[in-house]
């Protein structure tokens, strides 16, 4: 991705034989949406004249105020490499605006922009590097997804055990054509599970990249007759899908989390940021882990954190500090899963960290032991509380966290909470197959 002008975009559409442009945006619940236009409309598009019906998007606006406009970020222009090379398809990632030109308060991209502007006013740039996991499953004779895989591989295995290797390679090459710098690609712990890591960047750019990444994975898997899912826990008894989020603050081009003179080479700013994340761990859990199914991943024994603690090495901790120091110093938050809305998660994490800095918070002592093996009494002695155990509990914690609510803004907070409570109620009132198997005959 480069720095483009309107004239650059119009010229590239003509020179590259681009027939369609997808004007993409993300809804409050993290679903990628788009309005497709033909090449003849590109001039209107770059002049912010493409309109959509916001009342048709859950959590956006009411029917009597439905007109909204898509303002493309010109620097996100990219050709989709998995589409035809004759009559190509390109995309532009857009902000959602009201008819009077103001930013729509429920646009997740604008939510993150507001928090980044706050950090910038304090002198900081917020950089993020994600690690997304996903499963590749077989489909049935009707093309519907299953949870079956002929893959027998584990951590870092390769073909012939890793049957998803070719799809993973296609995804990597496609993303590199779009300007991604892929740092690692490998098989994960569970059968059929994979991970791709791309280089950290400024938070808004990274959130855009996550949405593009998920689209590429699902599209190319389908092309190969597979189904890709980022569902947190699709298989009972197997590891779930996480999205570890590596974060750092930079000031004047230097990593503000690094202090060569401290014992662990973390600056006071870094420990305050960590303290802020820990203080608001309950409050942003409904964002980092947004589904009913998310809480079936956050259980002991599968490397997913259950307790808000931090460590310089311990992978059972909520926050881990990876080994690199200097410009590579970073804080790794291990609780999020890849079904989250990255714009809202990054905004909430930044708000929590900045709150720790502004209040000069001090984190508890780091924990080096395997937290899963500690007794309840030992955890209590360390002051460890559990993360919310259900989506409902996480929503209630969000409702009580003014810092996270302020970061979301009134419209987004209300619509998100309302939508998630509706999802919880739908789940709560269902009768599952487990219940029928367990109770129908016995009782």
- 187 an active-site residue? no
Beta-sheet pairing, 18-26 with 88-97: parallel
- 15 an active-site residue? no
Active-site choice (332, 355, 392, 401): 332
- 141 an active-site residue? no
What is the crossing angle of helices 342-359 and 108-121, to 10°? Answer: 30
- Measured at the alpha carbon of residue 284, what is the angle toward residues 278 and 287, in degrees to the nearest 5? 145
Active-site choice (118, 315, 325, 379): 315
- 244 an active-site residue? yes
Beta-sheet pairing, 201-202 with 125-138: antiparallel
- 131 an active-site residue? yes
What is the SS3 assignment for 357?
A: helix
**CB contact at 8 A, 115 and 211:** no
Active-site choice (334, 337, 355, 401): 334
Q: Which two tokens stand for residue 89?
A: 């398809």
- 423 an active-site residue? no
User: CA dist 267 to 93, 248, 330, 359, 362, Å?
Assistant: 36, 11, 11, 16, 12
Active-site choice (27, 107, 115, 133): 133
- 83 an active-site residue? no
Number of H helices, E strands in the chain: 13, 16
What is the SS3 assignment for 370?
A: coil
Active-site choice (27, 107, 131, 337): 131
Backbone angles phi, psi at 328, to 5 degrees: -90, 5
- 53 an active-site residue? yes
Q: Spell out the residues 6+ positions from residue 324 whose beta carbon is closer than 8 angstroms to its own.
A: 330
Active-site choice (91, 163, 187, 244): 244
- 133 an active-site residue? yes
Active-site choice (195, 259, 337, 401): 195
Active-site choice (16, 53, 140, 426): 53
User: CA dist 306 to 28, 236, 274, 285, 392, Å?
Assistant: 26, 17, 17, 11, 16
**CB contact at 8 A, 48 and 60:** no
- The residue written with tokens 């931090």 in the block is 310
Active-site choice (107, 151, 188, 401): 188
Q: Which of 85, 110, 86, 83 is nearest to 98 (CA)?
A: 110
Q: For 425, which DSSP code? A: H
Which residues are catalytic, by number?
53, 131, 133, 188, 195, 244, 315, 332, 334
């Amino acid at each position: 991705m480069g720095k483009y002008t309107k004239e650059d975009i119009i010229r590239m559409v003509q020179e590259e034989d681009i027939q369609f442009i997808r004007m993409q945006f993300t809804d409050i619940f993290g679903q990628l949406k788009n309005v497709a236009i033909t090449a003849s409309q590109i001039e209107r598009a770059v002049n912010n004249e493409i309109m959509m019906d916001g009342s048709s998007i859950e959590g956006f606006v009411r029917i009597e105020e439905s007109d909204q406009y898509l303002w493309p970020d010109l620097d996100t222009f990219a050709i989709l490499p998995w589409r035809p090379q004759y009559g190509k398809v390109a995309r532009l990632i857009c902000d959602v605006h009201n008819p009077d030109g103001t930013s729509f308060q429920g646009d997740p991209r604008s939510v993150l922009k507001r928090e980044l502007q706050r950090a910038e006013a304090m002198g900081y740039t917020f950089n993020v590097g994600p690690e997304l996991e996903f499963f590749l499953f077989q489909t049935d004779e009707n093309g519907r997804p299953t949870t079956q895989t002929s893959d027998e591989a584990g951590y870092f295995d390769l073909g012939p055990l890793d049957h998803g290797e070719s799809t993973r390679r296609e995804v990597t090459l496609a993303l590199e054509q779009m300007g991604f710098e892929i740092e690692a690609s490998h098989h994960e712990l569970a059968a059929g599970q994979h991970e791709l890591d791309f280089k950290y960047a400024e938070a808004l750019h990274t959130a855009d990249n996550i949405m593009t990444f998920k689209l590429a994975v699902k599209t190319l898997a389908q092309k190969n007759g597979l189904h890709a899912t980022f569902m947190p826990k699709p298989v009972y008894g197997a590891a779930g899908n996480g999205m570890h989020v590596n974060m750092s603050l930079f000031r004047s081009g230097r990593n503000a989390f690094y202090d060569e003179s401290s014992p662990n080479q973390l600056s006071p700013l870094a420990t305050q940021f960590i303290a802020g994340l820990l203080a608001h761990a309950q409050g942003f859990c409904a964002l980092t882990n947004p589904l009913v199914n998310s809480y079936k991943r956050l259980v002991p024994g599968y490397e997913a954190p259950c307790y808000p603690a931090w460590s310089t090495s311990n992978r059972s901790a909520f926050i881990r500090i990876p080994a690199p120091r200097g410009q590579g110093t970073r804080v790794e938050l291990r609780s999020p899963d890849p079904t989250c809305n990255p714009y809202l998660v990054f905004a909430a994490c930044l708000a929590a960290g900045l709150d720790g800095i502004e209040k000069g918070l001090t984190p508890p002592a780091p924990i080096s032991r395997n937290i899963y093996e500690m007794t309840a009494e030992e955890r209590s002695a360390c002051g460890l509380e559990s993360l919310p155990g259900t989506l409902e509990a996480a929503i209630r914690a969000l409702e009580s966290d003014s810092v996270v609510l302020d970061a979301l803004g009134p419209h987004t907070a209300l619509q998100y909470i309302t939508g998630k409570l509706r999802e919880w109620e739908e789940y709560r009132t269902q009768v599952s197959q487990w219940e029928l198997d367990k109770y129908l005959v016995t009782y």
